[in-house]
Structure 1
Amino acid sequence: MIVKIGFEYEEDTVYLRCPAKVGRNIRKLQREFFSWLYDRKNDHPYWVPFGVNQDGTEEFGLSYNEDAFIYWLNNVRFKRGKKVAFIIKKPKYLPKKTISF
């Protein structure tokens, strides 16, 4: 299945190829991804330090793109060694679903 990924602040459009089982649940998976991404207990490379607060504790923000979602699908959510999601340049078929970041 082809899924179109749009970005609010960018003009680029990315297309994701995945099995139909994954594509049918792509919005639910996106919500699960955000829960994982924003959970400070998860040590992933998308945390970016941006300063120190008044208590002297380092503060972090997030910096990610479609690669983070693909990483999460392939290595966290479906981690059986087989990749389930790939970025493709130009789809041969129209996307069945669209998600936005």
Structure 2
Amino acid sequence: MIIKIDFGDDFIQYISCSTKVGRKINRIRNDFETWIFDETKNTKYWTYENCGKYCPNYDAKAIIEWLNNVRFKRGIAKAKLISNAQLSVKKKLYF
């Protein structure tokens, strides 16, 4: 399933994932946001300002990493970044 992820300011990325994951993507989005805002779990996605953590800075690669290695860590990879959505988009997420 193709999912369009709109980060605002005309920054749009597409991911491909299994239909099972795609159907649940809106429900599991809250779990991703909890993970990305947890300062202890994912330090590589945090922006630093004035010698301290400021806020998370992420794109679709972070969502893919979370899907494949945290949420659905057993089995083969569930999601990947695609550069051109030639197939029709089935879901849309806005951040």
TM above 0.5 = yes
TM-score normalised by structure 1 residue count:
0.82
* Structure with the largest fraction of helix: 2
- Residue equivalent to 1:24: 23
**Count of matched residue positions in the alignment of Structure 1 and Structure 2:** 95
- Residue equivalent to 2:94: 100
TM-score normalised by structure 2 residue count:
0.86
- Residue equivalent to 1:37: 36
How far is the alpha carbon of 1:64 from its aligned partner? Answer: 1.1
The amino acid across from 1:2 in the alignment is I
Identity of aligned residues (%): 37
Q: CA separation in 1, counterparts of 2:13 and 2:55?
A: 24
Contact 2:16 2:81 in 1 (8 A): yes
Q: Which runs of 4+ in 1 moved over 3 A?
A: none
The amino acid across from 1:65 in the alignment is D
> Equivalent of 1:73, from 35, 42, 67?
67
RMSD over aligned Cα atoms: 1.6
The amino acid across from 1:31 in the alignment is N
